[in-house]
């Protein structure tokens, strides 16, 4: 790769980001629309000194990741909605064991088998833990092919820093589309050594290492929970990431992630040509969620209303409402069944909200 | 092995005694918490003795599973991972692939290996993962209080087959070793029992080959060990042991189902076969 700028598919860019971060283990099971991930991994990970396993199931894949992460390697798995449901058991164990790893969800439409069209129905399972018990995964939401690579790269860094699983919450559109990626800010790195806690073949002269999630006595479990809660609190303070687009003077603030946030940019440009001051706030970490920044927007005199477009029945909007309180009306527009937004889908409600910030057609929570 | 070193002595009340029987180095000092009559302790000891004999304690990584042996990690002194129910061999795969120089053992019961983890078992075996698996078959779910296991025999009463296991309702006891022997990735698979000393020694011989399968990079190694669960069988320990030897072995015949070492020896010319016999101790099961 002489030039650092490459034209590639989102799913493949994610793999390149992983290689650059020193990912040495990938296990996964084919599911559309993320098949390029295991395919690309199977072709290229070996020359980076890594191992690819096409697992017998999603359940096995996530447990293989648990093993590889326990052994101190940077490890990753990838799937799409129904497959991520299957991985939840393993993610719960990984979170409780405080093992770093990266899990990518190229979300398709659910519930059930659903279809293979892009969707955002996995927001809850990505940001609320997803499996049994109390835990959280660091969750990054890319909206471009470049960010697929960049966020996987970053996810490995954050996972190791916090000894916590990190999740990439993508969608079928971002995974399948092609765009240029600039790898200049993603140099190949040697992953950190984890010999102070990982299981390995060098046990001479040290206490044995135990990776464990079972603490039968409540008195033993409580301090572990408290340690995790403290970690999550620090994560909430230190790792919130977001970006914005023309939001400095915005009277209507769109809050969006993933492919709808791309459509929102087009809608914002068109709205501004009509003289409507619209901007966008885009969370990069959806866990930890940027509640505080959204609250500040909502409480500013300038912002009249917030609009949340999602390709689901309303999930991230619950976080936005939690952040905004009842300071300003929060509106919701949706695309169902795997359908995607057009700029006009957003422009129409924007015009209505401009005329009436409490526009009943889209209002979710009134101020 | 430690015994090969100088004789150990023990001083009690000012008197020196020669130490002739000791805890293997690879067992931790924690006393076993298993029920009286249970064979887990015996099996743990056999594994620990072999780890000591092979001199691999400091590169051994264990997988604990879910069931009565959920706390097996407490009893071995080496790195360990406590795995989700049925997933030990998937976790083991991730470990072994990233740490090929380690020695990975997976210790699982019948529910873990032959019910909830059947897929993980078959596919780890089929990939020929260099993992040594210890499969303890006691025909019942012990930890949860005596429910039917995939290996519960026909007619056997459990808390979920109160009238006895009926194949028309819930099928037959599953024979994992015979199934696994069909897979090319398996280097060694045998079924042994712990109901008497002779069979305990045979179990150790089989376990040794399951370790060799990994140490010599031959493939997947598994020993299915028939084990007593007198508590949940509602028997005395003596009756339980007797039931293993007399009844369980009818449904689960003891024997070696796949042995690449033996197959190899058969292929050797007669003279070489004799010298191979002389150089390796008898481990036929």
The per-residue pLDDT for range A246-272, each reduced to its tens digit, is 999 999 999 999 999 999 999 999 999
Please give the residue of chain A at the shortest CA–CA distance from B64: A212
Say whether both A180 and A233 belong to one domain.
Answer: yes
Task: Give the tens place of pLDDT for each residue, B50-64.
Answer: 999 999 999 999 999
| CB-based burial label for A93 (10 Å; 0-12, 13-18, 19+) | buried
The rounded distance, in Å, linking the Cα atoms of B104 and B106 is 7
Residue B3: what pLDDT?
47
Is the CB of residue B189 less than 8 Å from the CB of residue B180?
yes
Could you say which of A51, A61, A213 has the minimum Cβ distance to residue B97? A51
CATH number at residue A258: 3.40.50.920
Residue B273: what pLDDT?
74
**What tokens does A97 get?**
């064991």
Say whether both A249 and A330 belong to one domain.
Answer: yes
Could you say which of B82, B98, B123 has the minimum Cβ distance to residue A71? B98
On the question of a cis peptide bond just before residue A110, with omega within 30 degrees of 0, the verdict is no
Any idea which of A44-48, A67-71, A336-340, B18-22 has the lowest mean pLDDT?
Answer: B18-22
- What is the number of structural domains in chain A? 2
A194: pLDDT strictly greater than 70: yes
Task: Give the tens place of pLDDT for each residue, A224-246.
Answer: 999 999 999 999 999 999 999 99
Classify the complex by whether its ipTM is higher than 0.90, answering yes or no: yes
Say whether both A130 and A92 belong to one domain.
Answer: yes
Instruction: Tell me the shortest Cα–Cα distance from A16 to chain B, in angstroms.
Output: 20
Phi, psi for B54 (deg, rounded to 5): -80, -15
Domain final position from A238, A267, A287:
A238
Residue B7: what pLDDT?
78
pTM: 0.95
Residue A1: what pLDDT?
46
Residue A204 touches chain B, beta carbons under 8 Å: yes
- Is A211 contained in some domain? no
Is the CB of residue B72 less than 8 Å from the CB of residue B30?
no
CATH number at residue A185: 3.40.50.970
Say whether both A187 and A251 belong to one domain.
Answer: no
Residue from A241, A226, A250 nearest A292 by CA: A241
A151: pLDDT strictly greater than 70: yes
Q: Sign (positive/negative) of CA torsion B9, B75, A60, A23?
A: negative
Say whether both A176 and A263 belong to one domain.
Answer: no
Residue B1: what pLDDT?
44
Residue B283: what pLDDT?
54
Say whether both A234 and A278 belong to one domain.
Answer: no
Mean pLDDT score, A328-356? 97
Say whether both A55 and A87 belong to one domain.
Answer: yes
Classify domain B36-279 at the CATH class level.
Answer: alpha beta
The rounded distance, in Å, linking the Cα atoms of A129 and A345 is 32
On the question of a cis peptide bond just before residue A144, with omega within 30 degrees of 0, the verdict is no
- Is A219 contained in some domain? no
pLDDT bucket at A4, cuts 50 / 70 / 90 = confident
Say whether both A258 and A148 belong to one domain.
Answer: no
Please give the residue of chain A at the shortest CA–CA distance from B119: A56
Could you say which of A201, A202, A212 has the minimum Cβ distance to residue B73? A212
Mean pLDDT score, A146-161? 98
- Is A154 contained in some domain? yes
A138-140 and A165-171 beta bridge pairing: parallel
B140-141 and B147-148 beta bridge pairing: antiparallel
Say whether both A42 and A166 belong to one domain.
Answer: yes
Q: Of all residues in chain A, what percent carry a pLDDT higher than 70?
A: 99
Task: Give the tens place of pLDDT for each residue, A288-305.
Answer: 999 999 999 999 999 999
Residue B269: what pLDDT?
82
On the question of a cis peptide bond just before residue A341, with omega within 30 degrees of 0, the verdict is no
Give me the residue spans of the domains in chain B.
36-279
Residue A72 touches chain B, beta carbons under 8 Å: yes
Residue B96: what pLDDT?
98
**Residue B117, helix vs strand vs coil:** coil
Phi, psi for A269 (deg, rounded to 5): -60, -45
Residue B276: what pLDDT?
63
Say whether both A122 and A181 belong to one domain.
Answer: yes
Say whether both A267 and A179 belong to one domain.
Answer: no
Chain B residue numbers touching A67 (CB-CB < 8 A)? 81, 90-98
Instruction: Tell me the shortest Cα–Cα distance from B102 to chain A, in angstroms.
Output: 5
Interface contact A200-B61, CB threshold 8 A: yes
Domain that holds residue A171: 5-200+227-238
The rounded distance, in Å, linking the Cα atoms of A46 and A132 is 34
Among A27, A71, A216, pick the best mutation site for testing chain B contact (most B Cβ within 10 A).
A71
pLDDT bucket at A42, cuts 50 / 70 / 90 = very high
Say whether both A119 and A232 belong to one domain.
Answer: yes
Mean pLDDT score, A11-18? 98
Residue B267: what pLDDT?
87
- Is A210 contained in some domain? no
Residue A60 touches chain B, beta carbons under 8 Å: yes
Spans of chain B, pLDDT less than 50: 1-4
Please give the residue of chain B at the shortest CA–CA distance from A99: B81
Could you say which of B60, B82, B93 has the minimum Cβ distance to residue A211? B82
How high does pLDDT run on average in chain A? Answer: 97
Residue A95: what pLDDT?
98
Residue A53 touches chain B, beta carbons under 8 Å: yes
Mean pLDDT score, A300-329? 97
Interface contact B102-A68, CB threshold 8 A: no
A103: pLDDT strictly greater than 70: yes
Among B79, B88, B123, pick the best mutation site for testing chain A contact (most A Cβ within 10 A).
B79
Q: CA triplet A284, A290, A291: central angle to 5 degrees?
A: 155
Residue A73 touches chain B, beta carbons under 8 Å: yes
- Is A207 contained in some domain? no
The DSSP code for A289 is -
Sheet strand arrangement including A210-211: A210-211, B79-82, B60-64, B103-109, B132-137, B220-226, B186-193, B255-259
Residue A213 touches chain B, beta carbons under 8 Å: yes
CA distances for A271 relative to A256, A279, B137, angstroms: 16, 10, 69
A31: pLDDT strictly greater than 50: yes
Please give the residue of chain A at the shortest CA–CA distance from B59: A201
């Amino acid at each position: 790769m002489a030039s650092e700028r490459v034209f590639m598919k989102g799913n493949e860019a994610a793999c390149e980001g992983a290689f650059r971060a020193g990912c040495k283990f990938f296990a996964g099971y084919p599911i559309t629309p993320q098949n390029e991930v295991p395919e690309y991994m199977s072709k290229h990970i070996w020359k980076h000194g890594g191992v690819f396993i096409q697992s017998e199931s999603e359940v096995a894949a996530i447990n293989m990741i648990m093993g590889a992460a326990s052994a101190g390697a940077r490890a990753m798995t990838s799937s799409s909605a129904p497959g991520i449901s299957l991985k939840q058991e393993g993610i719960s164990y990984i979170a409780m064991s405080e093992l770093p790893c990266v899990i990518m969800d190229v979300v398709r439409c659910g519930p059930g088998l659903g279809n293979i069209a892009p969707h955002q129905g996995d927001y809850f399972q990505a940001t609320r833990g997803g499996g049994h018990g109390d835990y959280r995964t660091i969750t990054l939401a890319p909206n471009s092919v470049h960010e697929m690579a960049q966020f996987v790269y970053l996810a490995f860094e954050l996972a190791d820093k916090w000894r916590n699983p990190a999740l990439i919450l993508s969608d079928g559109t971002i995974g399948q589309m092609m765009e240029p990626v600039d790898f200049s800010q993603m140099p190949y790195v040697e992953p950190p050594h984890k010999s102070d806690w990982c299981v390995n073949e060098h046990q001479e002269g040290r206490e044995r290492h135990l990776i464990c999630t079972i603490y039968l006595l409540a008195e033993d479990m409580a301090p572990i929970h408290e340690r995790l809660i403290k970690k999550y609190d620090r994560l909430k303070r230190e790792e919130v990431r977001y970006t914005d687009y023309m939001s400095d003077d915005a009277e209507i603030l769109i809050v969006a992630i993933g492919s709808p946030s791309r459509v929102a940019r087009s809608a914002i440009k068109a709205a501004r040509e009509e003289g409507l001051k619209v901007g966008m706030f885009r969370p990069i970490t959806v866990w930890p969620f940027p509640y505080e920044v959204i609250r500040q927007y909502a409480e500013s005199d300038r912002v009249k209303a917030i609009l949340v477009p999602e390709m689901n029945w309303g999930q991230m909007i619950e976080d936005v409402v939690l952040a905004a309180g009842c300071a300003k009306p929060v509106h919701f527009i949706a695309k169902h069944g795997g359908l995607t937004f057009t700029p006009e889908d957003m422009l129409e409600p924007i015009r209505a909200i401009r005329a009436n910030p409490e526009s009943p057609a889209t209002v979710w929570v009134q101020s | 092995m430690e015994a090969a070193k100088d004789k150990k002595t023990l001083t009690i009340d000012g008197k020196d005694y020669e130490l002739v029987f000791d805890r293997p180095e690879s067992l931790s000092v924690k006393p076993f918490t298993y029920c009286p009559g249970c064979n887990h302790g015996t099996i743990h000891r056999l594994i620990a003795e072999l780890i000591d004999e092979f001199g691999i304690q400091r590169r051994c990584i264990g997988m604990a599973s879910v069931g009565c042996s959920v706390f097996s990690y407490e009893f071995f002194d080496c790195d360990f991972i406590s795995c989700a129910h049925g997933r030990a061999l998937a976790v083991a795969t991730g470990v072994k692939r990233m740490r090929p120089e380690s020695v990975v053992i997976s210790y699982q019961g019948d529910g873990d290996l032959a019910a909830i983890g059947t897929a993980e078992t078959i596919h780890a075996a089929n990939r020929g993962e260099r993992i040594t698996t210890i499969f303890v078959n006691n025909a019942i779910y012990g930890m949860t209080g005596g429910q039917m296991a995939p290996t519960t025999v026909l007619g056997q009463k459990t808390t979920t087959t109160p009238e006895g296991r009926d194949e028309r309702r819930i099928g037959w006891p599953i024979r994992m070793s015979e199934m696994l022997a069909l897979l090319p990735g398996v280097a060694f698979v045998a079924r042994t029992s712990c109901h008497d000393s002779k069979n305990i020694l045979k179990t150790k011989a089989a376990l040794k080959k399951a370790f060799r399968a990994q140490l010599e990079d031959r493939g997947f190694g598994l020993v299915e060990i028939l084990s007593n669960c007198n508590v949940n069988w509602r028997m005395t320990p003596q009756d339980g042991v007797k039931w293993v030897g007399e009844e369980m072995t009818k449904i689960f015949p003891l024997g070696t189902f796949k042995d690449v070492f033996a197959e190899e020896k058969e292929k050797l010319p007669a003279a070489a076969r004799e010298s191979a016999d002389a150089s390796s101790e008898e481990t036929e099961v």
